[in-house]
Structure formats: C-alpha cells, structure tokens
Chain A
C-alpha cells in the first residue's frame, strides 16, 4: 500500500511516499531554517504561513521524486496530534483535500508516534517491547513501546525539552540556531569535565526530566566569569553543558530499560542526531548488554516518512479518520483513535 504522509506540526513542511510502512520512496522536507535563524526560534504564525506557501510544492515533489503519480497514492496519513495548532491545521486541510479528491482513506497520526516509527523505518529489527526516548526541541519523553501502536508514557520533561535547552544556551552563548549542532561542534574542542553542571532529577526516583535548572546554572557560570573578568572558555562551557544533558538522557533511558526488563532502546527525534549522545549511548548500552538503535539522520528531525509509516500501521488495524478529522495540539500519546 502506497501511503502519502504529511507533517506540518512545527517548523518543517514535509511530504513523503512510503510503501507498506517499510520502503521510503521519497521524503521531502522544507525547513524554515532561514526564518529560525532570523527569529532565534519558531514563531507559530510565521511557521504556519510558510506551511501554506510550501505545502503544495512538497507534495508535488514527494510524488514526482518517487517516480509515482498522485493517482497511485492509496492512503493519506497526516500529523493531527501534538504541535502548533495553526501549523497542524494547514497539513490536515491539505490531507483531507487529497483524501477527498483521490477517494482514498485518511488517517490522523500522533507526532510522537511518528518519531517512534522513524526509528522502526530505519531499523525494522528493533525488538518489542522496547524503550523509546524521543528527544527534540519540542519534547523529551520516555515511552514503553509494548508493541506496534501500544504505548505507555513513562516520563517526560517538566519544563524545557532537551533540544530547547540546547537552543537557548546556544542563543545565550551567541552560537546561533539551531543550538544542538552548534554546541556539539564547539564541544569537540572543549573539556567536558571543566564545569560540573547539575544533572537535574538524575538521582530522583522518577523518569521525568528537567532542564531548566541546568540552563540557569550554565548562564550563572557564564555571568560569574564575566563579573570576575575571567577568561570565558566557551568550548568548555559547551562541552560540560552537553555532557550534563547527555548524562541525564542516557541514565534515565537505561534506568527505564532495566526497570521494564527490556533488551533494547531506541532514541529518536532531532537531538538523536547529536554525536556525543550517540557515542555515550553506544558505550553504555554495550556495557549493559542492551541494544540501542538510532534512525538514519534524515529521519531524526520532523519528517513525513515517519508519519506515513505510522499511518500505515494504524490503517492496518482498521483505524481511519473521516473528513471531520480535527487537530489536537496537546493530546497525550496514549489517547489514540481515528479522529
């Protein structure tokens, strides 16, 4: 079954064609990096306007570059849950129009479920059950993936998402946007033990995260040095800050894996592209005898291929939406259903 996916929940306008939830024929992603750099982050109204401008082009390109015709498409999957409301509405409007015009089924997908499927698309061999860490600029979540489409949320961030903390610290240090790659790059030249930044909630008996205090600690360390006219080793600050985040993400994920007695973890979302995070995950998991999986780099950030893959799984369970499909900016992952 040829599924066309659409994803517009935040700042990427994307469309993709995926066969049987497995073979990615195309995955077109138009980023708004120019706007993000200008504004230092996502401005919902501006992002939604850009989606309106680009949506037709990315759909056309997804179909053309897959060597298919629009009439070959057998179902439409679209992100309808979790994201910016104005942005979600544009994607859902396009998806319904296509579904209506092509007379093919429509399915609404939860954005986080999409990220879980990004990793399954890259690594179909990931065993069930497993623990999935979804970590990006918008969320930081630990999910127990019992089976396809069966989830239990174990923990999530109480304040900033990990990627958001990267962005904010990068902005503060004048490293630009997006912050993750900038900090990762600078960190390679720094000493990750130069500063001992806090690891929030690391020892606490919870699988929730908090990055706000860490952010403040970094900013305070920076200001303290400025006030005392000390040299500012930006690369050391960046490396130590990144190490603190990585430490928390890896420890909590492994803690969840041990607690649930699973033999595999998957890491997905924009931050899963982080070099140091992958390195530490690979090392630590090897020591503990746990398998770890990452999506290929093009599937880390928001994309429509993962939505098409998740949509295919949902359709296989007989779930389907109708033309009244609504958007839900804040629905939790466990709440599922066609519309």
Chain B
C-alpha cells in the first residue's frame, strides 16, 4: 500500500512516502520559523522525489502529537483534508509512538520524550517492543522531568530530540540506583508515521476522516483555568 505520512508536531515538517516495506521518500524539513506554511509544498516535493502523484497515494498517516499546538492543528488539518478530498483512508499516529518505534530494537523499556513550546513540561510515555511493534504501557505522562524520573524503575531507552540533556538530569535523579539508561536522539519521521498507519490501514482499520483531532494531552490555559474555577465554585456551593 502506498502511504503518505506527515508529522508537524515539532520544529520541523516530516514527510515520508512508503510502498509496503519500501521507503520511497523520507524528508525532515527543518526550520525554527515559517516551516508550517510549507507543509503542503513539502508534501509535493516528497511525492515528486518518490515519483508519485497524490492520486497514487492509497492512504494517509498523520502524527497527532503531542507537541506544538499550532503544529499539530495544521498537520491534522492537512492530513484530513487531503484524505477527504482524495476519498482515501487516514490513520492518526501518536507522535510518541512514532518515536518509540524508531527505537524498537531493544528489550528495555522505551520512553519517548517530547518537549515543544511548554517550558518545564514534557510529554512522555512508556513502550515495550515486541515482534516489530511497540505497545504503550500505561497512560501518557505530562509533567516535569523530575516527576518522570520518579517513574523510572527499570532499564530504559529515552528517545527524542535533545533527549541527551534530559537523560543527564534523569541519571542524576536516579543516583546510585544502578538502573541503566540510554539516550537516543531522534525526530519524528514521516516514513515511520506512514509505516504505523499502514499496519492499521492494511487491516481495513482507519480513523474517521472528518472528526480526527490532534492529541493535545493538555487543555488550553483558559480552559484549565475555567475548570479549576468552576470546580472551586461548585465546592463553595
């Protein structure tokens, strides 16, 4: 199946095209600024490199985040409107899962870490690799790096961009516990998003095109404020 995969959750546009187990194109267009508006042009570039047109694509994969709130809104919008207008299926892929999959050749726990835009908050999750797939263990983590360190009880491979500095902090926190950790620098890749989407799409599973939404994992500040506010007024009542 020819699948186009995109991820714009970080400071880059990742675009990949696969056909079965062959990667036809895989690009990460890096830019700290103004890269988002180029995503459709980036897709066009990757398709041309793969010697395909949009009509050849049989399904779409899109990185849902977490990450830059603006980035995931744009990525998911592009993914679903392309799927809608070409009448092809789409599968959303959590960006943390795409990162974990990239580090799957380990028997240790895999912990992808994403830190975009939110100063002291990281998004993370734990995965175990098995038979070329990764399975998430427990809930997503949203919080500071110290809180994450407290959850490390066994050998763990950390994966993500700028993950080296986090692993130093974590290793300090772990002290002399003897738990071995490893850090692997990686960015979300379009080909991996496409591959993970393909495993679902090939079984006939897909997401509803129009209702697909990003994985924010955090409420907007105003909403968080409002829910705290209404909780406290309810408490008073």
- A-side interface residues toward B, CB under 8 Å? 38-39, 43, 45-46, 48-49, 51-53, 55-57, 59-60, 70, 85-86, 89-90, 92-94, 96-98, 100-102, 322-327
A97 adjacent to B78 (CB under 8 Å) = yes
Which residues, 125 to 174 on B, are CB-close (under 8 Å) to A?
Answer: none
B37 adjacent to A92 (CB under 8 Å) = yes
A49 adjacent to B73 (CB under 8 Å) = yes
B220 adjacent to A96 (CB under 8 Å) = no
Complex Cα distance, B221 from A43, in Å, reads: 10
- B-side interface residues toward A, CB under 8 Å? 34, 36-41, 43-44, 54, 69-70, 73-74, 76-78, 80-82, 84-86, 209-211, 213-214, 216, 220-223, 226
Can you offer 10 A-B residue contacts whose CB atoms are under 8 A? A49-B73, A51-B73, A56-B80, A56-B81, A90-B73, A97-B82, A98-B85, A100-B44, A324-B38, A326-B37
Closest 6 CB pairs of A and B: A97-B81, A56-B210, A45-B220, A101-B85, A323-B41, A43-B222
B226 adjacent to A45 (CB under 8 Å) = no
A96 adjacent to B213 (CB under 8 Å) = no
Q: Which of B39, B209, B220 contacts A56 (CB 8 A)?
A: B209
A52 adjacent to B85 (CB under 8 Å) = no
**Given known A-B contacts A90-B73, A101-B85, A39 and B214 have beta carbons under 8 A apart:** no
Complex Cα distance, B51 from A222, in Å, reads: 70
Min CB gap B17→A, angstroms: 15
B226 adjacent to A38 (CB under 8 Å) = yes
Min CB gap B77→A, angstroms: 4
**Given known A-B contacts A56-B84, A93-B81, A96-B40, A48 and B222 have beta carbons under 8 A apart:** no
| Residues in B whose Cβ lies below 8 Å from that of A39 | 222, 226
Complex Cα distance, B41 from A102, in Å, reads: 14
Q: Which of A46, A57, A85, A89 contacts B223 (CB 8 A)?
A: A46
| Residues in B whose Cβ lies below 8 Å from that of A70 | 85
B86 adjacent to A94 (CB under 8 Å) = no
Complex Cα distance, B83 from A60, in Å, reads: 12
Complex Cα distance, B38 from A89, in Å, reads: 11
**Given known A-B contacts A39-B226, A53-B213, A101-B85, A326 and B34 have beta carbons under 8 A apart:** yes
| Residues in B whose Cβ lies below 8 Å from that of A52 | 73, 76-77, 213-214
